[in-house]
Structure 1
């Protein structure tokens, strides 16, 4: 026998800007927070320069966050003092888990109100209802040995590729995702136009368009897949929000904005007792 079960997935894009914003002006029109997202109400992806303010601005109770996934240790994605403060929130469910590369984890205190868990390319782990895979990204930090990460999230509610920061996909990353059908793709698009030198570790719209064409040819996306361009640079995109969205639409995507929320539900049959 089976029960009809409703699965849900919800992603809030708390901050959507690249590192060229003046975050002393956060809250003013057009000023995006440092890139971070909250998945299913309790999994925070990155906590950088405006990490805690991102949560506050979106009305998120610090105590609800029980897991942090770190893409890499650049300051707009990773701020140890803010992470320690988040972990020490009174009443927070324990343990508070931090998944990151060893080089990032080494910047946190040896002991604290958290558990350190090292990421490795291809590592699979479970977060509640989500199956998570750590994907090796093409992005350098101040530590030559540090591997940056994208994340694949799979659940009964849907499949999400979260790919910030990075230039295109690495071959090992491609081998881990080839053939997977995506419901959502949240992808780096730091530059609106081609020709910028940052192309070697960030995307522009041309690179994203080529990736989407390949995904489409492989049956990994279709007209129902929602593609969101994130990590938008202040100096490399227009100021006008309508123009930003128009440029994103040209490649079949949407441009992220602070507070943007993606939600989906899916009914599925689960064995009784599961």
Structure 2
């Protein structure tokens, strides 16, 4: 399974374009600009699609022409820019598209689908399991919401080759009973949000460094993460320390910061 990170930033990106904090200025000096978090899997499955994402794909030398399936975690604007459905419809022969997500997110898409557009909406909720193309997709709960509990989800995706990933953004800390759904998963890669750095007081619906570290420890205890698992922090915001400091703190827990345009190759054969 090939996962291309089309963006690894929080809703406002990193750096925040209106900010002069040390973290933002450091990112500018490095030329490391993170856009809205999304991933392209095997050129056919797109996970989240904020309004910046189609342009990001082009800037990273990727096309979305082969995407037949879109997984949406929730309807916040950095995760769902439904206007992409309109621009896609302008391409002759674009082919069918399956859009999977919470019912509330799919409602946002409806006005952007023209009569006769080959777009199929598939509502899901936490606890569902379905086949999406050649992928086995389990829908997990998120400690996050747009308006109502349950209108945001996470995804556990297994590819045709057996590679398995956890896409876990946006979410706050998990209750203990949620780990039963991922027990023994031994993910090849975990893409876990780490939005708040040391400012966890801002929100209960996102992870900062302490909560990120706690969640990784719990995933290890549940057997969802092991020494083979690649742990990639995404949805990174400017409340984090400058990147050198962040790298050290994530590294203490076997994790690292993702970067825009990065290609993560998940090879289940490496476990054998």
Q: TM-score range by the shorter chain?
A: 0.7 to 0.9
Matches within 5 A, 1:46-195: 46-92=48-94, 94-109=95-110, 111-112=113-114, 113=117, 114-141=119-146, 143-144=147-148, 147-155=151-159, 156-170=161-175, 173-193=178-198, 195=200
Offset at 1:172?
Answer: 6.1
Q: 1:83 to 1:171 in 2, by over 3 A?
A: farther
TM-superposed CA distance for 1:176, in Å, is 1.9
Distance in structure 1 (CA, Å) of the matches to 2:17 and 2:52: 7
Partner of residue 261, structure 1 = 263
In structure 2, how many angstroms separate the alpha carbons of the residues matched to 1:87 and 1:69?
A: 18
Question: In structure 1, the residue corresponding to 2:247 is in which secondary structure?
Answer: helix
Shift of 1:42: 0.9
Cα deviation, residue 23, structure 1? 6.9
Equivalent position of 2:10 in the other structure: 18
TM-score normalized with structure 1 length: 0.83
CA gap of 1:43–1:172, structure 2 versus 1, over 3 A, is farther
Tell me which moved more, 181-190 or 258-267.
Answer: 258-267
Give the conservation status (yes or no) of the 8 Å contact 1:47–1:79: yes
Matching residue of 2:201:
196
For 2:89 and 2:217, the matched residues in 1 are separated by: 41
Q: Measured at CA, do residues 54 and 210 of structure 1 come closer, stay the same or move farther in structure 2, by a change above 3 Å?
A: same
User: SS of the residue aligned with 1:105?
Assistant: helix
Question: Closer, same or farther in 2 for the Cα pair 1:53/1:253, shift >3 Å?
Answer: same
CA distance in 2, matches of 1:251, 1:189: 13
Structural RMSD (CA): 2.4
| Alignment partner, residue 5 of structure 1 | none
Q: 1:227 aligns with which of 225, 231, 250?
A: 231
Change (3 A) 1:23 1:130: farther
Deviation at 1:201, TM superposition (A): 0.5
Please state if 1:42 is matched with 2:44: yes
The equivalent residue for 1:271 is none
Deviation readout 1:53-105 (Å, 9 max, x if unpaired): 1211122223111111111101111111123323543332x320111111111
**Contact 2:188 2:266 (8 Å CA) reproduced:** no
How many residue pairs get aligned? The number is: 253
Deviation of 1:107 (Å): 1.7
Q: State how far apart, in whole Å, the 1-side matches of 2:122 and 2:132 are.
A: 13
Structure 1 residues 88 and 256: alpha-carbon distance in aligned structure 2, compared to 1, 3 A threshold: same
Q: Deviations over 1:143-190 (max 9, x none)?
A: 325520100012333221110000022556433222322221110111
